[in-house]
Structure 1
Amino acid sequence: MAKFNSQAVQDMPHLTLYGAQLASAAAIAKAQEIQVPEDIAIVDASQQLLHFQRMPKAKYASIDIAINKAFTAAGFGLPTHAYKENVSPGGPLFGINNSNGGRFMTIGGGLPIEIDGRVIGAIGCSTGTPDEDRQVAQAGVDAVLAHVKKENGS
């Protein structure tokens, strides 16, 4: 595909299926290490689901939560845990969880995947505690970034 050089059109990097599979494999390995089965969702920069994995014994109710954590992290470019202080009653973002059809997640475990300051996708994990979910998601992010770094020889 040709690169665009125009003020009217912008090239937008997106996470690929291969990148999502790398993230998923690393997240699964981390979840196994900490002994917490996880639902793992990975979206591209457009917030659309690219890959999903439900580990045995992961909670069925956490499927949508994982997907929505990834959706939130990709769409807003921040980890879902970053909203904790602001979404409490009286906080400046109170009620934001009702936005986007109720898909906005403020529970830890959703992380954007960024390359050169641009969000290319995100990973959302759910079933464990917010801290466990975040650890598993971070392993996925780290795997993608390490692969890109290796490919670029840096």
Structure 2
Amino acid sequence: MKTKHYLMLEDAEFLLHQAHQYAIKNQFNVSIAVVDETGTLLCMKRMDGVAPMTANLAVEKAKCSAMSRSPSKLFEDIIRNGQMGFLTMESFSGMLEGGEPILYQGQLVGAVGVSGVKSFEDAEIAQHAIQIFLTHVSNQLNS
């Protein structure tokens, strides 16, 4: 049998906090979602004043990233390059930049989705939180 890594609520809250702090520091007003490896929501935050639709978009971007094990931007690029068939998939949405997978020791453990600013900034927030999280986990194991 193999060992399977997974996000605990404490991990999801850590990721959410890191993304939120980065958004505040950069004056980004966003919604942030953290999902597990199945795309199931673990926690989310919608900052004051951000459009209500960003809450759903953040969750869908995170789900897309978790279910595909890829940044959600991959699908945005595929569609932009003419493969419109992806738009017909009812079970798969959130195919916009801003969802980032969390890979730990080669295993997908979840994803972070962000919505509310420019797409590349959404992705930047998610990537920042994941980088801090993975460094934090590594430091905990080495101490």
TM-score, scaled to structure 2: 0.91
Q: Is the 8 A contact 1:30 1:135 kept in 2?
A: no
Supply the AA of the counterpart residue of 2:108.
V
Aligned to 2:4: 12
Aligned to 1:116: 105
Point out where structure 1 has 5 or more consecutive residues left out of the alignment: none
Aligned to 1:97: 87
Distance in 2, Cα, partners of 1:100 & 1:120 = 24
Q: Is the 8 A contact 1:23 1:139 kept in 2?
A: no
Aligned to 1:72: 64
- Say yes or no: does 1:43 pair with 2:23: no
Supply the AA of the counterpart residue of 1:96.
F
Distance in 2, Cα, partners of 1:48 & 1:78 = 16
Q: Is the 8 A contact 1:125 1:133 kept in 2?
A: yes
Aligned to 1:136: 125
Aligned to 1:52: 44
Following superposition, the deviation at residue 53 of structure 1 comes to 0.7
Distance in 1, Cα, partners of 2:23 & 2:7 = 22
Following superposition, the deviation at residue 11 of structure 1 comes to 4.6
Give 4+ residue runs of structure 1 displaced > 6 Å after superposition. Answer: none
TM-score, scaled to structure 1: 0.85
Give 3-state SS (helix, strand or coil) of 1:97's partner.
Answer: helix
**How many equivalent residue pairs?**
143
Following superposition, the deviation at residue 152 of structure 1 comes to 1.4
Following superposition, the deviation at residue 97 of structure 1 comes to 3.4
Distance in 2, Cα, partners of 1:16 & 1:56 = 26
1:48-77, Cα deviation, whole Å (9 max, x unpaired): 000011111121011110000000111100
Q: CA RMSD in A?
A: 1.7
Distance in 1, Cα, partners of 2:76 & 2:59 = 19
Distance in 2, Cα, partners of 1:142 & 1:135 = 10
Following superposition, the deviation at residue 16 of structure 1 comes to 1.1
Distance in 2, Cα, partners of 1:153 & 1:61 = 41
